[in-house]
Chains A and B, each alone.
Chain A
């Protein structure tokens, strides 16, 4: 009896040792990644958080507690207005890019999935914008949108639409449409500037290929047998789409929605190249405002304020993502 107990204990101890060894091995395997993430992500993040609690102009001046956060969030302060404006611009930008990108990408993926002739070539064509350098492509789009000699205005001219200032146009699109219809639209209802619409067109063009590939991969992973079975049972194409394709594609849709939304909120390069936040701040999204605060207002606590803005923005992105998980996550079907 005693021997059995001893054997059981020895086995348990050996199991524990083995488990501990396995844990140690696991930690050793992830150690390089943890080290890199710690040094290049976590530490700079903590440093930025620390800086956001200081008054930091060209150099560190003093510990400021939550002063920077208060300055940004105080509705009577000068910073509040520009931050809210930047949030508004960012929201419009996300709204004008993410749903449009996803709709086009889904459509393209469906078309390609149907066995279009030359599907491989189409895939290359759609993914090309995504693998092109943002800066180089944005420069080309600057020419396309050129107010005086851009090809876009030339094309619009052919169909009788007057030349637009595009990247230089700060007026809101609702305001412009209202003016064309002879209606006066107040500034509060002006809508996003045409300049932001132009930037959004570029963004959609650039990212739609990536999303198409993700959706196509999702579609390809759905078993053909399910479709055959549904057809044998008499399901029509609409029912197949609603009951099989969309549910089984929902993880990919959810993934793209999250990635695209966070990506759009954090967008910087293309906006910096195309408009640098102008004209009249109509394309100054939060990342551009942070950059502007850092490098054009450095002497007046720009680094402290910019860091605080970054953290407020991180919280907003996290909150938005949580809402997406709560609202969309429930509808995802993982099979």
Chain B
């Protein structure tokens, strides 16, 4: 028995030794001295870098076209190879692939991710701090260019668990907005968007319509998505996670008031409980006055309308007392540690891709938000917004947006918050109990991830 255990341990040790990558676990906050100088080097020969992304269908084609253009025009011998490695499972698929790549020591040069995934990768010590590249006099962004990129988009790329290093760069950005059926609002006599959350609730209640049997056929608003809920916390002056990362904040009074509104909305029947994205159909039918959703839903709502005439718009969330009006989110790109030349080539591509012309074209193609304010002057976007004014309305709200924290464990914290919403929607618990339980769970996750 004992010899069996020893043999088993030996096998385990051999396998662990064989599988474990050599790189040490680093969580140091200080940017490496090497990286500081690497931002200023010059490329001396052709360099090929790979980016793993999650774009599919027409977006993959559009992205590839931009990559091809960069490859032809960069003049430095840089070739970017774009590969969809998501396996159709978007960020989750990419994350799983990247975990395998890290174990094998064969990471791509750039990886599309959401911020908490980047925080995970950084724990393996494979991610480059981009601050030296961004600030490099030779290869970096000018002061004007930096000021042109929306501050909330840059802010989410600083990672507090790694000394606020800039471990990623904006790629595809969206924000949670409030859609309004303007025709219905007009019919009900609401000439302006709600200024307060109480006003939103009263307008929503007024929109309810029932059939002869008493069944609700028109609703004031849809139940809140997780991002609408978290956005409301920011909107009311709260924090999803406290800035010092000591505890979560979504379980505070701000979150509670939103969740209690949801509780009333479901109990009184003026909130529609969607299945997946079927709120788009209800909205297109004219049976929803308000709904919170991502800015990329503009295209899906248009699809649901199927050419039907309906006046609708993106309106600001009510004024909850804070400057932030809503949550923003989306993909970022992280550069992995390789050679100084490859890292610089990757940065060159990111810089080019976020430039006004490219970000405008990409936004017009994809429906994502451009990352620069100057994009508003580009004809391609003006033409796009002429057809989709709601996207311009969303664009105007970017400065008032804020991202969730870029920390390890954030996805699980979101899951805990989602549980609170589910409990309220399914009447498994009161808003107060559900939020309290979610807070306890999320704090344990936060502590575990410190």
Contact = CB atoms under 8 A, between A and B. Distances in A.
Contacts of B121: 58
B16 interface: yes
A27 B322 CA distance: 75
Contact of A58 (B96, B102, B425, B428): B102
Nearest to A48: B15
A51 interface: yes
Contacts of A53: 9, 12, 16
B123 A58 contact: yes
Interface in B6-39: 8-9, 11-16, 19-21, 23, 25
Interface string A136-152: 00000000001111000
B428 A170 contact: yes
Interface in A280-306: 280, 295-300, 303
Contacts of A222: none
A59 B428 contact: no
B273 A299 contact: no
Interface stretch (B173-181, B297-305, B409-417): B409-417
B422 A280 contact: yes
B408 interface: yes
Interface string B219-247: 00000000000000000000000000000
A46 B15 contact: yes
A73 interface: no
A171 B15 contact: no
A208 B408 CA distance: 43
B20 A59 contact: yes
B95 A61 contact: no
Contacts of B419: 280
Contacts of B40: none
Given A58-B121, A280-B428, A296-B415, A47 B15 contact: yes
A147 B274 CA distance: 9
B119 interface: yes
A233 to B, nearest CB: 57
B444 A59 contact: no
Contacts of A169: 426
B103 interface: yes
A242 to B, nearest CB: 47
B410 to A, nearest CB: 10
Interface string A59-101: 1110100000000000000100000000000000000000000
Contacts of B408: 299-300
Which label, helix, strand, loop or mixed, suits the secondary structure of the B interface? helix
A203 to B, nearest CB: 21
B96 A295 contact: yes
Contacts of A297: 409, 412
Contact of B19 (A47, A58, A168, A298): A47
| Best-surrounded residue of A50, A147, A295, A303 (most CB of chain B within 10 A) | A50
Given A50-B12, A60-B16, A296-B415, A149 B278 contact: yes
B119 A299 contact: yes
A59 B21 contact: yes
A148 B278 contact: yes
Contacts of B428: 170-171, 280
Interface string B81-103: 00000000000100110010011
A165 interface: yes
Nearest to B15: A50
B19 A295 contact: no
A247 interface: no
Nearest to A59: B124
B11 to A, nearest CB: 6
Given A170-B428, A295-B92, A295-B96, A63 B422 contact: no
A57 B123 contact: yes
Contacts of B415: 296
A279 interface: yes
A296 B415 CA distance: 10
B11 A63 contact: no
A78 B444 contact: yes
Interface string B118-143: 01110110000000000000000000
B448 interface: yes
Given A63-B16, A295-B95, A168 B25 contact: no
A54 B16 CA distance: 8
Contacts of B444: 78
Contacts of A57: 25, 120, 123
A57 B444 CA distance: 17
Contacts of B260: none
25 contacts: A49-B8, A49-B11, A50-B11, A50-B19, A51-B15, A53-B9, A58-B121, A58-B123, A59-B102, A59-B123, A60-B16, A60-B19, A61-B25, A63-B13, A148-B274, A149-B275, A165-B426, A280-B426, A295-B95, A296-B411, A296-B412, A298-B120, A299-B123, A300-B408, A300-B409
Interface of A: 46-47, 49-51, 53-54, 57-61, 63, 78, 146-149, 165, 168-171, 278-280, 295-300, 303
Which 7 A-B residue pairs are closest in the complex by CB-CB distance? A60-B20, A50-B15, A50-B12, A58-B124, A299-B408, A59-B124, A299-B120
